[in-house]
């Protein structure tokens, strides 16, 4: 399309960033500032914090992230095809059905491997 639409998007982003910044800055000017050591501790049920927050976490999160990546990238290829759908012939439909089928097989594989279980 015309370049001025992207100009609008650019300006809109700047405006969108400024709008939430204004009340935060305003609050900085208005609010009281009485910091103390206790107040700045990390909040954790009232007892003193043990260690920092960089704890070990479940590997499950990585697995979900990996499956998501596979799906996300492949789905992106669906969109140009979907736009051209009304002009496509049978071959393109079958090809894309194969493509979606591969996605389905990937999902079944992950499922059978237990990657979708929340442990």
Partner 1 sequence: MAEFLINSGWNPNLAQIVASTLGAVVLASFGLVWVIFSIWLERKFAGRVQDRIGPNRTGPYGLFQTFADIGKLLTKEDITPKGADKHVYNFAPILAVAGIIAIFAVIPFNHAWVGADLNVGVLYFVAVGSLATLAILLAGWSSNNKYALLGAFRAIAALISYEVPMILSLAVPVLLAGSMSMQDIVKGQSIAYVFVVPVSALIFFVSQLAEVGRSPFDLIEAESEIIAGFNIEYSGMKFAMFYAGEFIHAFVICILTAVLFLGGWRGLGAGEPGYELFGFLMLMAKSVAVYAFVMLLRNTLPRIRIDHMMAFNWKFLVPLALVNLLVVTFLARPFVPDYAAAEALVAEGGLAGLVGTIFGAGFIAELPRAVVLLVANVILFIVATQLLHRYGEAQRSKLGVQAVPPMRATAMASD
Q: Minimum distance from CB of 10 to partner 1 (Å)?
A: 9
d(CA 101, CA 37) in angstroms, rounded, equals 58
59 binds partner 1 (CB under 8 A): no
Q: Is 54 exposed, middle or buried (0-12, 13-18, 19+ CB in 10 A)?
A: exposed
109 binds partner 1 (CB under 8 A): no
60 binds partner 1 (CB under 8 A): yes
Q: C-alpha angle 78/84/87, rounded to 5°?
A: 140
47 binds partner 1 (CB under 8 A): no
82 binds partner 1 (CB under 8 A): yes
Q: Candidates 30, 46, 59, 91: give the one binding partner 1 (CB under 8 A).
A: 30
Q: Candidates 48, 56, 57, 114: give the one binding partner 1 (CB under 8 A).
A: 57
Torsion of CA 27, 29, 30, 33, to 10 degrees: 100
Length of the chain: 119
Q: Candidates 46, 47, 56, 79: give the one binding partner 1 (CB under 8 A).
A: 79
């Amino acid at each position: 399309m015309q370049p001025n639409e992207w100009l609008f998007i650019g300006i809109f982003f700047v405006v969108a960033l400024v709008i939430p910044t204004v009340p935060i800055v305003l609050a900085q000017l208005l609010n009281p500032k009485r910091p103390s050591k206790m107040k700045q501790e990390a909040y954790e049920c009232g007892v003193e914090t043990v260690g920092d927050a960089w704890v070990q976490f479940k590997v499950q999160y990585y697995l979900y992230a990996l499956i998501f990546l596979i799906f996300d990238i492949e789905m992106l290829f669906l969109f140009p095809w979907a736009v051209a759908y009304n002009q496509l012939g049978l071959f393109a439909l079958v090809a894309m059905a194969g493509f979606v089928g591969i996605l389905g097989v990937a999902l079944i594989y992950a499922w059978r491997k237990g990657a979708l279980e929340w442990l």
